Amino acid sequence: MRLSDLLGAEVVDEHGRAVGKVHDVRLEQAGPEQADLGPGLRVEGLIVGRPALGARFGFGRGVQGPWLLRLVFGSLGHDGHDVAWHRIRSIRDRRIRIAGTADDLPTPQPSGD
């Protein structure tokens, strides 16, 4: 499987209602923290919903100015959800079904490292 198979996939809840599209995949180190990636990387969960435009530009992670651009692009408001991997019930043809509904999903926190 490839990462691109997950990105853009449609996520639906247990009732078949649309939750959103996958716009990012959160990875975690599979073992204790190390300088390199000895233990490897694995998928922790999916980030579903509309991404914040400013995030890509770095406005949430250190980019301060110029204020004009921050005004235009910097809305870090994110109407989306974190879907932990264990919630997934099935993946088929770029359609991912999860347990529970959209309401009991947390909003994404920045991965912050």
Partner 1 sequence: MRKLLEIALGILTAIGGFVDIGDLVASTETGARFGLGLAWVLLVGVVGIVIYAEMAGRVASVSGRAVFDLVRERLGAGAGLLNLAASFFITLLTLAAEIGGVALSLQLATSVNYLLFVPVVGFLVWLVCWRVRFELMDNAVGLLGLALIVVAVAVWRAHPDWGAMLHSATHPVVPTTESHAAYWYFAIALLGSAMTPYEVFFFSSGAVEQRWTRSDLLVNRLNVYIGFPLGGLLALALMVAAALVLEPLGIDPSHLSQAALPTSLVLGRLGLALALLGFFACTFGASLETALSCGYSIAQYFGWQWGKFVKPAQAPRFQLAVLVSIALGVGLVLTTLDPVQITEYAIVLSAAALPLTYLPLLIVANDPAYLGGKVNSRLSNAIASLFLVVLVLASVATIPLMIASKAGGG
Partner 2 sequence: MARRLDAALELLDRQLVDKDGRLAGKVDDLELTDPGDGLEQPRVTAILTGPDALAGRLHTRFGRWLQGVVLRLLARQGPARVPLEQVQAIGSSIELRVAAGRLDTGQGWARRLIGRLPGAGEGDAAQ
Residues that bind partner 1 (CB under 8 A): 56-58, 61-69
Instruction: Tell whether residue 68 is a contact of partner 2 (CB under 8 A).
Output: no
Partner from partner 1, partner 2, none contacting 64, C-beta within 5 to 8 A by type = partner 1
| H helices present in 13-91, as ranges | 53-57, 67-73
Task: Supply the DSSP symbol for 85.
Answer: G
Partner from partner 1, partner 2, none contacting 66, C-beta within 5 to 8 A by type = partner 1
Hey, which residues between 94 and 113 contact partner 2 (CB under 8 A)? 94, 111, 113
Hey, which residues between 19 and 38 contact partner 2 (CB under 8 A)? 23-33, 35-37
Tokens 């809840």 correspond to what residue? 13
CB of 57 to partner 2, least distance (A): 11
Chain centre distance of CA 18: 16
Instruction: Tell whether residue 82 is a contact of partner 2 (CB under 8 A).
Output: no
Left (φ > 0), alpha (ψ -120 to 50) or beta: where does 51 sit?
Answer: beta
Measuring CA to CA, how many Å separate 56 from each of 36, 47, 71, 82, 94?
25, 14, 15, 18, 24
Question: Where do contacts with partner 2 occur on this chain (CB under 8 A)?
Answer: 1-8, 23-33, 35-37, 40-44, 47, 55-56, 85, 88-91, 94, 111, 113
